[in-house]
Amino acid sequence: MEQLLSILDVKDKLLIVISPDPDAISSAWALKRLLTRKVHTITIAFIRETKRLDNLAMIKLLRIPLKPLSGLDISFYTKLAIVDSQPHHFPELESLSFDIIIDHHPLKSKIETSFVDIEPDCGATATLLTEYLRSMKIKPSTYLATALFYGIKTDTQNFALRGTERDIKAFRYLFNYINQTLIRKIETSELSLDNIHYFKKAFNAMQVSWRYHRIFVFLGEIDNPDICVILADFFLRIYEISWSIVAGTYQDRIIVIFRSDGYRKNAGSLAEKAFGKIGQAGGHKEMARAEIPFGNLENMLASFTVENLRSFLLHQITKAGSENGFILRTN
Ligand SMILES: [Mn+2]
């Protein structure tokens, strides 16, 4: 931390560049807090727009100041920082030279610059920034603590994916300062008014096998493949359901999302058996995905009507599934 301060001057204008996921957003914000009175100006800029509604909810509810990098005059800034990534991760950053790099992804090639702190021993960069704050005896505001807490929560996937002693320590510390209601609202913000009409469509189109605890939905044309994921997850929350398969057509292809409770089931192998020969398909026990370009179906289907596609998908899934004892019936 001392070393970081030693490379900065009060006249410095600092630009912090991020790819906006919760870990990066919260880490950049903490760095801004740490350096607020140490330099002249600090701007946090994102390389790419985030479309994830939970991330947008985080930015909005916690009032995190972010700007698009494309709208900035980079020459205005005297120092450049990047957190939770390294410059070589993004081709558009290769021409820039960074003064500060703080990250937890393992270093691929040696980086020569004024300040580098890479700690693969942290499950999240937010852990590292929490440690910086503590070492400087800065108590985070509720919003900043909530952001960092959420950053660690998502990067470690609630400590199911990874998470070290240091992550747990930071998490426990931040817990004293967070607002849990905001965390819940951020985490559950996955739908917008623009896409809830697909629920209505799905309720009308769903085909349920009561006997085999399965549900299949073909949505027809969709304007975002994420809705298949949201609906497949949603249907798996139904007590009687242990398999859910939601499909739709997007641009020049069919998207099929599989979810299962994973108990003696394998969504990945079902997806592969059903669609592996005519598209890309794969996944693991609980979740899988297939994408089938229309171009590959030209010899198999007379026309691409909703009804033709629906019965084609159902046929492929049922045929593949019968080898696993998977039979889909409509009621
Ligand atoms: Mn991260």
Q: Characterize the bridge pairing of strands 243-250 and 280-283.
A: unpaired
How far away, in angstroms, is 161 Cα from ligand 1 center? 12
Of the candidates 189, 226, 180, 192, which has an alpha carbon nearest to the alpha carbon of residue 57? Answer: 189
pTM: 0.82
How far away, in angstroms, is 84 Cα from ligand 1 center? 5
Q: Do 84 and 22 meet the contact criterion of CB atoms below 8 Å apart?
A: no
Average confidence (pLDDT) over 137-153: 98
How far away, in angstroms, is 24 Cα from ligand 1 center? 6
Q: What are the extents of the domains in the chain?
A: 2-187, 197-322
How far away, in angstroms, is 87 Cα from ligand 1 center? 14
pLDDT reported for residue 327: 63
How far away, in angstroms, is 154 Cα from ligand 1 center? 9
How far away, in angstroms, is 191 Cα from ligand 1 center? 24
Q: What confidence tens digit (pLDDT) does each residue in 228-251 have? A: 999 999 999 999 999 999 999 999
Using N-to-C axis directions, what is the helix angle for 180-187 and 142-155, rounded to 10°? 40
How far away, in angstroms, is 4 Cα from ligand 1 center? 20
For 151, the token pair is: 């950053």
How far away, in angstroms, is 145 Cα from ligand 1 center? 16
CA distances, 297 to each of 162, 311, 329 (Å):
41, 13, 24
Residue spans of alpha helices (H) in 156-285: 165-175, 180-187, 197-205, 226-236, 267-275
pLDDT reported for residue 167: 97
Average confidence (pLDDT) over 57-83: 97
pLDDT reported for residue 265: 83
- Supply the mean pLDDT for the chain: 93
At the second CATH level, the architecture of 197-322 is: Roll (3.10)
How far away, in angstroms, is 85 Cα from ligand 1 center? 8
Name the residue with higher pLDDT: 329 or 72.
72
Average confidence (pLDDT) over 75-84: 97
pLDDT confidence tier of residue 325, bands split at 50, 70 and 90 = low
Name the residue with higher pLDDT: 255 or 87.
255
Q: What percent of the chain has pLDDT over 70?
A: 97
Residue type, 116: V
How far away, in angstroms, is 16 Cα from ligand 1 center? 15
How far away, in angstroms, is 190 Cα from ligand 1 center? 21
pLDDT confidence tier of residue 201, bands split at 50, 70 and 90 = very high
Q: What confidence tens digit (pLDDT) does each residue in 8-59 have? A: 999 999 999 999 999 999 999 999 999 999 999 999 999 999 888 999 999 9
How far away, in angstroms, is 281 Cα from ligand 1 center? 28
Q: What confidence tens digit (pLDDT) does each residue in 172-191 have? A: 999 999 999 999 999 999 89
How far away, in angstroms, is 116 Cα from ligand 1 center? 16
pLDDT reported for residue 264: 80
Q: What confidence tens digit (pLDDT) does each residue in 19-32 have? A: 999 999 999 999 99
User: 2-187 in CATH: which number?
Assistant: 3.90.1640.10
For 69, the token pair is: 């990098």
262 has a pLDDT exceeding 90: no
pLDDT reported for residue 212: 82
Residue 48 Rama label (left phi>0; alpha psi -120 to 50; beta)? beta
How far away, in angstroms, is 20 Cα from ligand 1 center? 10
Residues 81 and 15: their CA atoms lie apart, in Å, by 6
